Structure formats: structure tokens, C-alpha cells
């Protein structure tokens, strides 16, 4: 299959790209679209044959459920059944965060094919803020299932060029919407009522919407993500090894623990490129890239994260050494991804 990359850098080209995408989606094909988090591989969520093509193109195992993207908040009831006890909370949360990088896990409606949810009784739902994605999902007038547009377990794509590297020849169309501005996958939450006060918000996957952002809406708690290989993860689809570069990656918590092996070439994924952090001159790095030079801003680190990881993966090093980031705000999601990238 030939993969076409459709530019959107002029209103006419944007219109053309959107209509190509909508035509293909109507015919049950899957297409790569930009979102504010990472590029998604989208298909009509209500068409199981189309959804099956996502799993095939990504080589994604059927037990890993997909996120369903809506065109409007008021279409939530088509895919989910919002329990009465949390209806007000769901309304407050979606009014505040949608469109945006927050996914809610809710009981699914019968209309959603089991393939989308991997047979689970729940469905993960969000509404993207990316204007191109929104145009496509609105014109199609159907929800879209859209996981990240990479081969299963690999580095998520934050540019059309990265999608080409992952899926060239496997999908008919990539809509090039430029770089993604959140840079990491959506935060996933579930909401449980409590006897008194605000509900319990469980963060099933850390992401751009942080614990601090969610706190006004409930008591926030992180689900247990740190499963060992072989153990069944609490959250479906959150494998111990994920976001993996082909080059082995080591998360080096303390610079003094580094003992370079003779003849091995190392690359550095630095947090803020600070000499005082002790990593910059540990060895003669083949290449070193910094997530947020100087100030170490976590949202900036998130935007650059997958791009830098991919570049280091391609630089020819034998091993990538990653500096830890502070585990607050978006740093929680980034550290989780580094741990998974480092897991075998």
C-alpha cells in the first residue's frame, strides 16, 4: 500500500487533506491524524472491520483497548453510560478539560464494538483539541477510535515524519498537522463516587493533565503502574515495556553509578543540560539532547520527549542514558515513560 502524506499548510491543502481523510474513514480505512498529544491512527469506532485495521497496522495485541474520540461533549452518551452518582462530576470535569488531553473511563454503551474496548465493560473517551482532528471527526459525524500511530510498544510519533517511520506502507494516509503541542499521550482517569464530598479520581495513566490540575475536582490517586514483567497490570494495556527505542535505554538515577564499558558508544537524554547535574561530562557522549535546556520546564520537556528519544535511537549509539526528571506535574508521566522505555 502506498502511504500519502497530506500537507495542511494552506487553507486549500487543509480542506483537501480533511476531505481525503473523511472519505477514507467513511470507506472503513484507517488514517493517521494529528492530535494535541501525539499522532493518532484513527478509524470509525463503530465499524469493527475498520477498527481491526488499526490493530493490524500497529501490530497491537487485541487485549489492549483503544480510546474513543468524540466530536462534541454532548455525544458522550452514544458511547458511554454515565452513572447517575457521578453525572455531575463528569459534567464538571468534561466542561473544564474538554476539548483537551484528558481521557475518562466510563461504562460502555452497547453500540461500541467489543473490539474497541478489548471486551471490557468500560470505554475510554476523550475529545481532542486539535483543530484538524476536530474537523475530521465532526465531518465524519461518528466517533473515532485512535491510538497512537506507532508500531505497538514503540516510541509514539509527534510529527508526520515520525508516523512515516512507523507505518509507511501500512496505511493509506497521514495528515501532516505539524508538531504536537502537548507531546505525550492523554491522562487517563476513572471516577468513583465517595460517600461524602468530591469523588475519587484515579489516574490510570499519567499525562499532560496533572494531579495538580485534577485536584479541584476530587481526591486524586495514582493507580499502581509499576508491575513486574509477567504480572497482570492493574490498568489494561499498560505493559511494563512500552515506548521502547530499539537502542537499549538506561534510566541513570545517580550520575556516580555510571561505569562506561570500553568501546561502547553512549547517548545522553538530558533533562535541562545543566553541568551541575553531573551528567554532561560523564563520558564522551556520541550525541546528547536536552529536553528543556536551561530552565528545565516540564511541559517543554514533554513536548520534546518523544522527538528526542527517537533522534537518540537513530544516532547509532549502543545505549541511551536518560537523566531522571523531577516527579511532579508532567514529570510524573515522563518518568513513567522512561521506566517503561528502560524495561526489557
Q: Does 67 bind ligand AMP (CB under 6 A)?
A: yes
C-alpha cell at 35: 492530535
x/- map, 32-51, Mg ion, by CB under 5 A: --------------------
Among 299, 297, 264, 258, smallest CA distance to 281 is for 258
Cα–Cα distance, 218 to 329 (Å, whole number) = 17
Positions 127 through 156 that interact with Mg ion (CB under 5 A): 148
Mode of pairing for the β-strands spanning 144-145 and 40-44? antiparallel
Q: Which residue is nearest to ligand AMP (CB)?
A: 237
Does 78 engage in binding with ligand AMP (CB under 6 A)? Answer: no
Residue whose cell numbers read 535511537 = 313
Name the one residue in this structure whose C-alpha cell is 485495521.
53
Residue 117 CB, nearest distance to ligand AMP (Å)?
5
Three-state DSSP state, 218: coil
Is the distance from CB of 85 to CB of 96 less than 8 angstroms?
no
101 is a contact residue toward ligand AMP (CB under 6 A): no
Q: How far is the CB of 58 from ligand AMP (least distance, A)?
A: 9
Q: Does the protein bind ligand AMP through residue 113 (CB under 6 A)?
A: no
- Counting contacts by CB under 6 A, is residue 188 touching ligand AMP? yes
Measured from the CB atom, the residue of 34 and 237 that comes closer to ligand AMP is 237
Q: Which of residues 201-220 bind ligand AMP (CB under 6 A)?
A: 204-205
DSSP state of 144: E
How many residues lie near ligand AMP (CB under 6 A)? Answer: 20
CB closer to ligand AMP, 22 vs 116? 116
Cβ-based neighbours of 184, under 8 Å, separated by 6 or more: 37, 38, 156, 207, 208, 302, 305, 306, 330, 333, 334, 337
Q: What are phi and psi of 176, to 5 degrees?
A: -85, 105
Rounded Cα distance between 57 and 171, Å, is 7
Please state, in angstroms and rounded to a whole number, the distance separating the CA atoms of residues 240 and 229. 6
Cα 23 to Cα 10: distance, rounded to the nearest angstrom: 20
Residue in the shown chain whose Cβ atom is closest to Mg ion: 148
- Of the pair 151, 297, the CB lying nearest ligand AMP is at 151
From the list ligand AMP, Mg ion, none, which binds 188 (C-beta under 5 to 8 Å, kind-based)? ligand AMP
Asked if 235 interacts with ligand AMP (CB under 6 A), we say yes
125-164 residues near ligand AMP, rule: CB under 6 A? 147-148
Stretch that binds ligand AMP, among 120-128, 283-291, 292-300, 310-318 (CB under 6 A): 120-128
Binding segment for ligand AMP among 77-85, 232-240, 303-311, 336-344 (CB under 6 A)? 232-240
**DSSP β-bridge partners for residue 269:** 289, 322
Q: What is the Cα–Cα distance from 225 to 333, expressed in whole angstroms?
A: 11
Smallest separation, CB 241 to ligand AMP (Å): 13
DSSP conformational letter for 277: G
3-state secondary structure of 319: strand
Give the footprint of ligand AMP on this chain (CB under 6 A): 64-67, 105, 117, 120, 122-124, 147-148, 185, 188, 204-205, 235-238
Which residues contribute to the site for Mg ion (CB under 5 A)?
Answer: 148
Amino acid at each position: 500500500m502506498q502511504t500519502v502524506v497530506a500537507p495542511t499548510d494552506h487553507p486549500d491543502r487543509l480542506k483537501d487533506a480533511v476531505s481525503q481523510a473523511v472519505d477514507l474513514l467513511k470507506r472503513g480505512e484507517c488514517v493517521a491524524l494529528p492530535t494535541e498529544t501525539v499522532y493518532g491512527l484513527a478509524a470509525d469506532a463503530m465499524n469493527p472491520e475498520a477498527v481491526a485495521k488499526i490493530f493490524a497496522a500497529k501490530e497491537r495485541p487485541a487485549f489492549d483497548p483503544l480510546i474513543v474520540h468524540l466530536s462534541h461533549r454532548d455525544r458522550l452518551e452514544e458511547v458511554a453510560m454515565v452513572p447517575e452518582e457521578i453525572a455531575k462530576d463528569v459534567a464538571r470535569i468534561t466542561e473544564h478539560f474538554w476539548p483537551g488531553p484528558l481521557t475518562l473511563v466510563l461504562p460502555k454503551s452497547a453500540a461500541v464494538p467489543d473490539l474497541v474496548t478489548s471486551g471490557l465493560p468500560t470505554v475510554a473517551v476523550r475529545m481532542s483539541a486539535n483543530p484538524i482532528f476536530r474537523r475530521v471527526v465532526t465531518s465524519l459525524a461518528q466517533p473515532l477510535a485512535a491510538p497512537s500511530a506507532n508500531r505497538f510498544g514503540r516510541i509514539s510519533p509527534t510529527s508526520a515524519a515520525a508516523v512515516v517511520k512507523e507505518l509507511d506502507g501500512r496505511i493509506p494516509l497521514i495528515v501532516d498537522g505539524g508538531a504536537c503541542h502537548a507531546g505525550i499521550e492523554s491522562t487517563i482517569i476513572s471516577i468513583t463516587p465517595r460517600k461524602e464530598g468530591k469523588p475519587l479520581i484515579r489516574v490510570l495513566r499519567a499525562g499532560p493533565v496533572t494531579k495538580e490540575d485534577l485536584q479541584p475536582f476530587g481526591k486524586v490517586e495514582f493507580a499502581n503502574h509499576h508491575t513486574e514483567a509477567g504480572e497482570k497490570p492493574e490498568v489494561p494495556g499498560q505493559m511494563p515495556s512500552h515506548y521502547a527505542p530499539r537502542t537499549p535505554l538506561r534510566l541513570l538515577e545517580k550520575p556516580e553509578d555510571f561505569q562506561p564499558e570500553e568501546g561502547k558508544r553512549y547517548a545522553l537524554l538530558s533533562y535541562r543540560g545543566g553541568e551541575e547535574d553531573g551528567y554532561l561530562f560523564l563520558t564522551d557522549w556520541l550525541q546528547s539532547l536536552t529536553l528543556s535546556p536551561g530552565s528545565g520546564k516540564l511541559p517543554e520537556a514533554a513536548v520534546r520527549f518523544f522527538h528526542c528519544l527517537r533522534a537518540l535511537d537513530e544516532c547509532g549509539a549502543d545505549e541511551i542514558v536518560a537523566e531522571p526528571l523531577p516527579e511532579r506535574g508532567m514529570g510524573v508521566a515522563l518518568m513513567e515513560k522512561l521506566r517503561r522505555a528502560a524495561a526489557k
